[in-house]
Amino acid sequence: MAARKPTRQTIAFGQEVIRLRQEKGLSRLELAERATVSRSYIAQVENGTTRCRRDFTLRLDNALGTETTLTDTWDDILKSSAHPKFFTDYSEAEATAELLRMYAETFIVGLFQTNEYAQVLLPSPHVLESRMKRQQILERETPPRIIAVLAEVVLSRQVGAPEVMFRQHERLLEISEWEHVTLQIAPTAYYRGVSGTFSLATQPTGEELLYQELSTGGFTSQEAGDILHCVGAFAEMQARCLSVSDSRDFIRKAMDRWTL
């Protein structure tokens, strides 16, 4: 991946994080523990070497007890960057995309999660509300074309109680029947070029934004090399996935494990 250089906007945002953290008398490690990320990720945010997502600022506000101070700062500083509007945050790129390609290696993709499933994963009601709002694009009058690939293991990784998993599988089956959604299961195997969850949002103009998930929070990229790598890897992986029909059968069988 191409190294990310600090920008005027990310540096300004990082300085505000430092100011608020120091006002609360917290070390980077203490803030990291409260926000459930690594100390190194907090350092990257404060140094301006990463451009965190807006939903992560909600986690920081929650960790610092600063209401929406950092989220408002993110809106004021980072959304005023020189990038096109839909590149300022992946959720915005997602909301305006014509095509979404998603690969989930650890959990069900956020757009397909039930409220109960997401509630187990997310750190606060504010972040949960944000995720549920993102899902509104699924049922709008002109929804994006969605091609989603789920790693086989995602269906057997328990998140919450068995009934949460059962209803999540029901939701996947429902979504898989939608005309604008292609949902496939990737059997456990080695897929060249694939090493973690990622999403690609393609705009009507053809411009694209890549989001890659990390244990420290993830990052976005507009670099042509990054995008071409993931486009190619996704295509090769999809060719080896179960068919849409076989994927539905696989999900139905996986539900047996979570039968109420």
Q: What is the mean pLDDT of residues 29-37?
A: 93
pLDDT of residue 83: 39
pTM of the model as a whole: 0.68
pLDDT of residue 204: 86
Confidence of residue 149 (pLDDT cuts 50, 70, 90): very high
Q: What is the mean pLDDT of residues 71-75?
A: 84
Confidence of residue 1 (pLDDT cuts 50, 70, 90): very low
Confidence of residue 79 (pLDDT cuts 50, 70, 90): low
Q: Distance between CA 188 and CA 254 in Å, rounded?
A: 14
- At how many degrees (to 10) do helices 125-134 and 54-64 cross? 160
Q: Kindly calculate the radius of gyration of the chain based on its CA atoms and give it in whole angstroms.
A: 19
pLDDT of residue 9: 74
Residue 220 has pLDDT above 60, yes or no: yes
pLDDT of residue 5: 65
pLDDT of residue 4: 57
3-state class (DSSP) for residue 180: coil
pLDDT of residue 133: 85
Q: With beta carbons less than 8 A apart as the criterion, state whether 199 and 210 touch.
A: yes
Residue 200 has pLDDT above 80, yes or no: yes
Q: Distance between CA 234 and CA 148 in Å, rounded?
A: 10
Query: Could you say which architecture CATH assigns to the domain 86-258?
Result: 2-Layer Sandwich (3.30)
Of 1.10.260.40, 3.20.20.70, 1.10.645.10, 2.40.30.170, which CATH number belongs to 8-82? 1.10.260.40
Amino acid found at 92 = E
Strands 219-221 and 198-202: unpaired
Confidence of residue 216 (pLDDT cuts 50, 70, 90): low
pLDDT of residue 260: 63
Give the range with max mean pLDDT: 44-58, 62-76, 81-95, 154-168: 154-168
- Domain assignments of the chain as residue spans, ordered by start: 8-82, 86-258
Residue 218 has pLDDT above 80, yes or no: no
Q: With beta carbons less than 8 A apart as the criterion, state whether 237 and 196 touch.
A: no
Q: Evaluate whether 8-82 and 86-258 have a shared fold.
A: no
Question: What order of strands is seen across the sheet that includes strand 198-202?
Answer: 181-186, 145-151, 99-104, 198-202, 208-212, 219-221
Amino acid found at 139 = E
3-state class (DSSP) for residue 25: coil
In which residue are the tokens 């506000």 written? 61
Q: With beta carbons less than 8 A apart as the criterion, state whether 61 and 68 touch.
A: yes
pLDDT digits (tens, 9 = 90+) for 234-254: 999 999 999 999 999 999 999
What does pLDDT average to over the chain?
Answer: 88
The CA-based angle 12-16-22, given to 5 degrees, is 140
pLDDT of residue 86: 38
Q: Distance between CA 127 and CA 31 in Å, rounded?
A: 17
Phi, psi of 38 (to 5 degrees): -80, 155
Q: What is the mean pLDDT of residues 80-92?
A: 52
Considering only residues 216 and 117, tell me which one the structure prediction assigns the higher pLDDT: 117
Q: With beta carbons less than 8 A apart as the criterion, state whether 83 and 126 touch.
A: no
